[in-house]
Amino acid sequence: MSPEMLALLLKSFWETCYMVLASTILATLIGVPLGVILTVTRKNHILPNAPVNSVLGAIVNATRSTPFIILMVAIIPLTRLLVGSSIGTTASIVPLTISAAPFIARIIESSLLEIDHGVIEAAQAMGASPMQIIRKVLLPEALHSIVLGITLAVIALIGYSAMAGTLGGGGLGDLAIRYGYQRFQMDVMLITVVVLIVMVQSIQSLGDYFSKKLNKNKL
């Protein structure tokens, strides 16, 4: 591989890291509150509210069921409004965030529902408010499971970021399409795939490590 191509590979790698990191942070900031609301507004939970749960659940399901490539095209006006462009690495963060946030919300909901209801009832018996139960019981008890779930979300975002490259989003996906596919440089395609595999394996290993550590600390 030529020095120029190596420099381009490194640039694409950092673009992918930037897209994935930024969208993970933003999607987590949106998805965690959504997941908590979806959980606590369920029937027989601490803040039951059927209308809120139904409407929010429908929105989350609708967004999750939309293929990323279609979502990316559909929200081009919103992307332009927020970042001033629909093409480029920064522009790709908008659809990546919107795609990942509902996924994270369902992960949070699933993790919180695994908590023994007796723990919640004990906290209520001691006079804890709903917000105290969320902050001091639900989230800490489910933290190790949440870490694993967000790890899955990050891995999914790596795949989505590669798809974003097909629409001018930059990153490793763009490199693979422009050079590996369109110019038939199979060495570029192969190296791009290897880099993506290493990224996924590294993130999964880190997620497993921190989840196990948090679970042991809880025990």
Quickly list H helices, the chain. 3-40, 50-64, 68-74, 76-83, 89-113, 117-125, 130-133, 139-164, 171-175, 186-218
Q: Are the C-beta atoms of residues 74 and 66 closer than 8 Å to each other?
A: yes
Q: Are the C-beta atoms of residues 102 and 34 closer than 8 Å to each other?
A: yes
Q: Domains in the chain: how many in total?
A: 1
Tokens of 152: 């899955």
Tens digit of pLDDT for each residue in 133-171? 999 889 988 898 999 999 999 999 998 888 887 777 778
Give mean pLDDT, residues 80-102: 89
Q: In the structure, what pLDDT confidence band is assigned to residue 22 with cuts at 50, 70 and 90?
A: very high
pLDDT at 217: 57
Give mean pLDDT, residues 38-49: 90
CATH number for the domain spanning 40: value is: 1.10.3720.10
Distance of alpha carbon 116 from alpha carbon 92, whole angstroms? 39
- DSSP per position, 21-82: HHHHHHHHHHHHHHHHHHHHTSTTSSS--HHHHHHHHHHHHHHHTS-HHHHHHHTHHHHHHH
Looking at the predicted structure, is the pLDDT value of residue 219 above 70? no
Provide the residue range defining the domain that includes 95: 3-218
